[in-house]
């Protein structure tokens, strides 16, 4: 995935098919701290209301490389959401792999 610019006070939401295995490898790098969430598609409305994620959340990250269990999302669509809460744009790079 190429580097993207995430505007101030905005988020990027990427839809993924349910993982084929029980875990994913997630890598995110950003020029400033961002919040990173994993949310199943059926949980998205709840997330929009109160920023509660049902799969994972990592707040204030500039670099994240983590193996994450997604057993609850097997076969279900889910979203990777990267949110910039700052007043300045940030550069982000992200990758998701089934492992």
Compute φ and ψ for 15, nearest 5 degrees.
-85, 135
Q: Are 16 and 78 in contact (CB under 8 A)?
A: yes
Global confidence as pTM:
0.93
What pLDDT, on the 0 to 100 scale, is given for residue 99?
A: 83
pLDDT band for position 33 (cuts 50, 70, 90): very high
């Amino acid at each position: 995935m190429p580097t993207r610019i995430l505007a101030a006070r905005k988020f990027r939401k990427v839809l993924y098919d349910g993982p084929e295995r029980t875990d994913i490898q997630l890598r995110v790098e950003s020029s400033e701290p961002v919040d990173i969430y994993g949310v199943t598609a059926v949980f998205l409305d709840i997330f929009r209301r109160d920023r509660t994620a049902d799969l994972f959340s990592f707040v204030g990250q500039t670099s994240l490389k983590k193996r994450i269990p997604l057993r609850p999302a097997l076969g279900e669509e889910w979203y990777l959401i990267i949110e910039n809460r700052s007043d300045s744009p940030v550069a982000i790079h992200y990758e998701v792999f089934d492992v």
